Structure 1
Amino acid sequence: MAQAFDGIKVIDFSQVLAAPFAATQLALLGADVIKIEPPGIGDQMRNRMLPSPLAEHDMASAFLAMNIGKRSLALDLKDPRGKEIAFKLIETADVVLHNFRGGVVDRLGLDYAAVKAVNPKIVYCAVTGFGGEGPKARDAAYDGAVQAASGMMANNGSIDSGPMRTGYFPVDMMTAISAAYAIAGALFRRERTGEGQYLDVAMLDAALTLQASGFGQYLVDGNMGGLFGNSSATKMPTADCFQTGDGAVLMSATQQNHVAGIFSEIGQPELIDDARFSSIAARIENRAELRALLSEAFKKDSAENWEVRLAAHGVPIAKVRSVAEASETPQLTHRGVLQKVPTPTGMDLDLTLVGSAFTADSDGPAASGPPPLLAEHSAEILTALGYDGSAVDALVADGVVGLVKA
């Protein structure tokens, strides 16, 4: 048997988060991903973006997380000889992926028309902040700015805090999954038609897909949402965050049976027939009173115990966990989304990273190799292209190609 993308070659010109993680998703399903990086400096995530003790080795933790199982070629794309090498790779590739800002890819001569001219069946995926065309096509974008531009911040936070961005990178990660999905679809289409395809993936569009239900409420009903803090757009007092005896839980009890289960578990089953709390409308009208009642009850036990007790009644509830706590939950251990990844060359590191968000009964996602050192595979890739040792040495001497540090 074979993984879905065995035999697929991806030339990954991207940096930072979104597009590199898209390529990693393909690598986890068997694709041979060649990561093209600037000689000497490499991907920004290696050492210049997020703090990490490994940044001094050009292997910062966020870089590791975005680049599982790739091969690294350090190549100066501004040099004609570097571009010639890139096109030799493209000639036999299946996918080209980049996240160059608008205009940059044209100056480098790596635009779709140029790439298609040497490989008509190529799947070409461009990941940008705002899309390849339109009034903001050439604007730079990072996750936080797109959260602001997409309306996401206007629905995150509380009245007291005002609009807030998230503490992680949802737009980047959704863009990554969108790009991987688009590439998979284009490869499947190519199997049927024999044709390549140009894919335009925008972070702004990905941010809207994350908010599809909220945008539906606005576009259909005129409901603009708002700042609900930890409560719910449903306005139900049983869908909120509550302090317990030793931490907090987030509960999304929106159905009548959920509420009946809560009342039963706190020892007051008769409340489901109380006129103040017997229906959704009644509970919303008496929100303050019900919240005070529940807050007092939740203080009498621990967050983990409330999670177990109310889950037994079918209530959607979870302890508010730290990243450290979440990574150690038995369910994640069972699922295997946190994957053991081979140790990068020359490093003494027991490496576990996030893989793919699904499992399969056979040939599912798996880390075939470690994240690469900068230029780790330059020599082997050039040798496979037909360059002999003296030619490689000349390219290295001229700064066109980088080799891994000794």
Structure 2
Amino acid sequence: MNATKQLLDGVRVADFSRVLAGPYATAMLADQGAEVFKIEMPGHGDDSRHLGPFTDTGSTYFTSLNRGKRSIEADLKDPEQHAQLLDFIRTCDVVVENFRPGVAAKLGLSFEDIKEVKPDIVYASISGFGQTGTQAKRPAYDTVIQALSGLMSSTGFPEGSPTRVGESIADVSAGVFAAFGVSSALFHRQTTGEGAHIDIPMLDVMLAMQPTNTAIHAAGSTPNRVGNRHPISAPFDTYAAADGLVVIAVANDKLFGVLTATLGKPELLIDPRFATDSDRSDNDEALRAEIEEFTTGYTVDELCAIFDAAGVPNSPVLNFTEAVDGPITDGRGLTATDERTGHTFLAHPILVNGARPASALPVPHLGEHNAAFTTESTKE
């Protein structure tokens, strides 16, 4: 555990969320020192407890999203347990939920309901389309949001089909924005004494995560699939090497000059087809031919060494195992191991005063902390 004082030390969270977006957000809060109580269905718990992959100690997926939390079983429809929940929430600073809009109100756990017992609550609602509007009650999964946001149609190669990004990026991004919104609201509460309802629509988040596509749209065009290349800069793509692909990323004239010298082709610097970044993008295929005349003569490792020495941004194309377990992450402390399950997970991605924040708690058994639900809290 990080020896320094954690940024959210003393904050208590009632977490009604499940599967991915909400649990990702509350894992971020738990890493920062918040005391997160995961409210789960009796006997079954969060669906992600039952999602693979599995080891003999349980779901590795569940561990990565719920390390550092406490688990309480509660039947949200039972009147006695509902009353106990409200008593418990009086001791909390934050509520996080990702019910479909309208469900929390039916359960008597809406923002308005919680404000009656905890007026300064910070309440975060994660949903597909937000709490209001004609689409609000539509069900949404990550792939649906990727498709509706335009991200899918602009991902992939021109001759291929629209392609889902290789992670549940809409869910994860919504989780990050939820953690940001909660932290901002906690700061606001500290300065004003007021709580807040933070509404995190996955669709809005996914649109906001596309600034380049936003710029293309604002200029009067529709973003299209361009493969691995950058839609407005060149050379910014994967290029053929003797044994695979190498990434070269050049987005300004100075770096292009360095690249042309490294390729042994200084004449490209004065070629009118490549005079500006826009020109290079318009003539990308001609520029690719010039670059690959050089790169196909070397292996990926050789090219990376050549470009590193010259100061040209580059990389091999790694798979996830190579990225996490390979030399590129040596000394970074990017992974951690849950002491209960032995599962490895990715640690908090930011550092505070040089250290990665982390909770000392292992992933919880279902209902492990029920006593906190049924007894009076001692939290001041």
Common fold by TM > 0.5: yes
Following superposition, the deviation at residue 229 of structure 1 comes to 0.8
Counterpart AA for 2:220: G
Would you say how many aligned residue pairs link Structure 1 and Structure 2?
375
How do residues 120-139 of structure 1 correspond to structure 2 at under 5 angstroms? 120-139=119-138
Q: What are the Cα deviations for residues 303-356 of structure 1, in whole angstroms up to 9, with x where unaligned?
A: 2332232133332221111000110244433333x2323322xx4x2x331232
Query: What is the match of residue 5 of structure 1?
Result: 8
Secondary structure of 1:309's partner?
A: helix
How do residues 6-405 of structure 1 correspond to structure 2 at under 5 angstroms? 6-48=9-51, 51-54=52-55, 59-218=58-217, 220-234=218-232, 236=234, 238-275=235-272, 277-280=274-277, 283-284=280-281, 286-336=283-333, 338-344=334-340, 347=341, 349=342, 351-361=343-353, 364-379=356-371, 381-383=373-375, 385=377
Distance 1:10 1:280 in 2: 48
Following superposition, the deviation at residue 127 of structure 1 comes to 0.7
Q: What are the Cα deviations for residues 54-113 of structure 1, in whole angstroms up to 9, with x where unaligned?
A: 3x75x3222111112000111111111221221121011000000001121111110111
Distance 2:70 2:353 in 1: 27
Counterpart AA for 1:144: T
Q: Bigger shift: 259-268 or 200-209?
A: 259-268
Following superposition, the deviation at residue 119 of structure 1 comes to 0.6
Q: What stretches of structure 1 of length at least 5 have no aligned partner?
A: 387-406
Normalising by structure 2, we get a TM-score of 0.92
Counterpart AA for 2:250: A
Distance 1:44 1:12 in 2: 14
Q: What are the Cα deviations for residues 271-300 of structure 1, in whole angstroms up to 9, with x where unaligned?
A: 333455454465456543331232232122
Change in 2 beyond 3 A, CA 1:364/1:235? closer
Q: What are the Cα deviations for residues 4-54 of structure 1, in whole angstroms up to 9, with x where unaligned?
A: 111110000000111111111111110000001111111111114xx3123
Distance 1:33 1:165 in 2: 32
Normalising by structure 1, we get a TM-score of 0.86
Change in 2 beyond 3 A, CA 1:131/1:257? same
For the Cα contact (< 8 Å) 1:342–1:367, is it kept in 2?
Answer: no
**Runs of 4+ more than 6 Å apart:** none
Change in 2 beyond 3 A, CA 1:282/1:5? closer
For the Cα contact (< 8 Å) 2:233–2:278, is it kept in 1?
Answer: no
Counterpart AA for 1:369: L
Following superposition, the deviation at residue 267 of structure 1 comes to 3.0
For the Cα contact (< 8 Å) 2:84–2:373, is it kept in 1?
Answer: no
Q: What stretches of structure 2 of length at least 5 have no aligned partner?
A: none
Following superposition, the deviation at residue 381 of structure 1 comes to 4.5
For the Cα contact (< 8 Å) 2:85–2:373, is it kept in 1?
Answer: no
Following superposition, the deviation at residue 234 of structure 1 comes to 1.6
Counterpart AA for 1:167: G
Change in 2 beyond 3 A, CA 1:209/1:285? closer
Percent identity (aligned): 35
